[in-house]
Each structure stands twice: as C-alpha cells, then as structure tokens.
Amino acid sequence: MTYEYLPHENFLGLDEEYSSYERAQVVVLPVPYEVTVSYGQGTRRGPRAILTASQQVELYDREFDDEPALRWGVYTSRAIAPDYRAPEAAMEAIAAAVAEHAGSGKLLCILGGEHAISGGVAAGLARVHKEFVTVQLDAHADLRDAYEGTPHSHACAARRILDVGAGPVLQLGIRSLSTEEIAFIRDQSDLVTTFFAEDVHAGRHLEALRSFVAGRPVYLTIDVDCFDAALMPATGTPEPDGLTWNEVLDIVRVIARSAGHVIAFDVVELAPQPANHAPDYLAAKLTYKVMSLLMAGREKGR
C-alpha cells in the first residue's frame, strides 16, 4: 500500500539537532482525516493546529526540571494525505504508515483527525506488535458496529480497535453512549472495561488501570472530548462533566509507571475554532506532556 504526504510543519519547532529521524526517540505522525463527523466539523485541521500551537509551548517542564524534548528528540513526519476513495483505503494507508514507524522502536504519536483513524492505527500496530492492550480516554464509548451507514465512523473507533484482535480495551471518562453500546459492554466484559466520568472523578479507576496495563504493551488513544467542555469546547461533540487536566495526566502517569511498554498514543478530534486558540494550545501542551511522561516511563524501565 502506498500513501502520500502533505507539506511539513515541525512539532515544538525543534532545531534539526533535536528533530532528525536518526536522533529522535519520538515520531509524530499527523493524520488529517475527516469523513464521518456527525455534528461539529473541522477535525481535518486538528493536526496542523496542534503543530502550530506546539511552537508556543515552553520546552521546560517543572515536573522534570528539564527540557525533556531536547533529551530524547522529536521527529515530525509530513502529514499523510487523506485517501478519500473509500474508508477501507484510508484505514489501510494509515495502517501502512503506522506499521512502518512502529517497527523503529521509537514512541509513536499520531495526531488526528477524527477518531475513526484509531482503527487504522491499531491495525498498523498489530502488524508489528501482535498483542497489546488499549486505554481509551473519551466522552463516548465508540462501540457501535456501524454508524450512519459505515463501520469506519468515529462512533465505531473502539469497536474497530477490538476487531484487530490484539487485546482488550479499557475506557475512561465515558458519559455518552447508546443502548447498543451499553449492551456490548455488559455482554463483552472480557473485551471492554468501562469507567464512566463519575468513576474517574471518584478515583475508582486507578487500581483497575494499574492492573490492566501492568507489564503489557499499551496503545493509548486520547479523544480530546474526554475533557470537560469548558476546557475543550473545540471538538465535534463536547460533553459536560468531563475530565480535568489533572485527572487526565494522573491516568497517563499510571500508564507510564506501570505499563510494560507504551508503543503509541494518539490525540484526536480537535476541531479548531478560529476565534479561540486556547483549545489548540491545550491539545499541543497535552501532546508534549504525554510524550514526556511516557518517555520518562521508558527511561525508568531500561
């Protein structure tokens, strides 16, 4: 399978010394794919907005008393040109690009685009890693088998990840789902474990999360609508009573400290609002912070 790239923009604006492929231990792969969004639109502009905003993010992180990106380096790939011939072709292109980078041993960061891309991401990871578990931060269960006539909808992202057969999914922050999805959660408890937003607010998820990722390869998928709508209004279907910044980072810290190996993460569903750049900056800072935490976990595990 071949795929095309779009013009280049560099995450964090790093100099060549810290952003060459040979030097970098992290690869950023932008995937500006948008076909099935069913309410607010604009996720195709999400990757570019994150890359642009990232150039305003300070490299220094007080948690590490360091500029982590300069220690491990970040290579930014050119964005994959969306393949709109058919969703199957688009998912195959994404899977092919992900598989190419997943074999490098570098931490892979995918920037979406709508959440449908995660099915392609999981397929690409499975070609290299065979087995892994998925942690999903999201307002929506995304467990429909099909939505609005397609199985490759953003509303089916978790179901398509499960179809890969690489391992189970643990969901955090869910607060909107259908009767079909709640039935699937109840009937397929060996495949999917769901913690609703109120569970996370009460801290009932942490021990289960720690046990779920312990010693295992992990794929982390972050739909930005996991955040409360007051923090993240720039997404297709913002939901109230979402997660806080600290709740999300505490989840990532547990994964970083307990997982056997985090192989990839994505940040999806940012739909930039021209008059409000705060959500773009939040998504960019989140991406850098998740990278830093996961790379610290990798370094500690060596």
Per-residue model confidence as pLDDT tens digits over 179-212 = 999 999 999 999 999 999 999 999 999 999 999 9
What's this model's pTM, rounded to 2 decimal places?
A: 0.95
Q: Say how far apart CA 271 and CA 211 lie, in whole Å.
A: 33
**Closest C-alpha among 43, 105, 102, 94 to residue 72:** 105
Task: For residues 138-154, give the mean pLDDT.
Answer: 87
Is residue 42 included in any domain, yes or no? yes
Residue listed under structure tokens 């996991």: 226
Q: Which band of pLDDT confidence, cut at 50, 70 and 90, is reported for residue 217?
A: very high
Give the containing element (helix H, strand E) for 122.
helix 117-129
Strands 133-137 and 192-196: what pairing?
unpaired
Q: Say how far apart CA 75 and CA 20 lie, in whole Å.
A: 6
Task: For residues 261-267, give the mean pLDDT.
Answer: 97
Q: Please list the residues that pair with 75 across neighbouring strands.
A: 27
Domains: count for the chain: 1
Choice among 87-96, 179-188, 282-291 with the minimum mean pLDDT: 87-96
Is residue 94 included in any domain, yes or no? yes
Q: Please list the residues that pair with 283 across neighbouring strands.
A: none
Beta-carbon contacts of residue 16 (< 8 Å; ≥ 6 apart): none
Residue 181's CATH number: 3.40.800.10
Q: Say how far apart CA 107 and CA 151 lie, in whole Å.
A: 28
Give the containing element (helix H, strand E) for 82.
none
Is residue 220 included in any domain, yes or no? yes
Is residue 24 included in any domain, yes or no? yes
Contact 292, 254 (CB under 8 A): no
Task: For residues 241-261, give the mean pLDDT.
Answer: 96
Is residue 123 included in any domain, yes or no? yes
Is residue 4 included in any domain, yes or no? no
Q: Say how far apart CA 164 and CA 119 lie, in whole Å.
A: 8
Helix 278-301 vs helix 46-54: angle between axes, to the nearest 10 degrees?
70
Give the containing element (helix H, strand E) for 111.
strand 107-112
Structure tokens at 23: 């030097």
Range of the domain at 171: 11-301
Structure tokens at 164: 């890969």
Task: For residues 94-116, give the mean pLDDT.
Answer: 95
Burial of 7 (0-12, 13-18, 19+ CB in 10 A): exposed
Task: For residues 260-277, give the mean pLDDT.
Answer: 95
Helix 245-258 vs helix 206-213: angle between axes, to the nearest 10 degrees?
30
Is residue 194 included in any domain, yes or no? yes
* pLDDT, position 301: 65
* pLDDT, position 67: 98
Structure tokens at 273: 């609002």
Is residue 104 included in any domain, yes or no? yes
* pLDDT, position 5: 62
User: 6 in the Ramachandran plot: left (φ > 0), alpha (ψ -120 to 50) or beta?
Assistant: beta
Q: Which band of pLDDT confidence, cut at 50, 70 and 90, is reported for residue 85?
A: confident
* pLDDT, position 265: 98
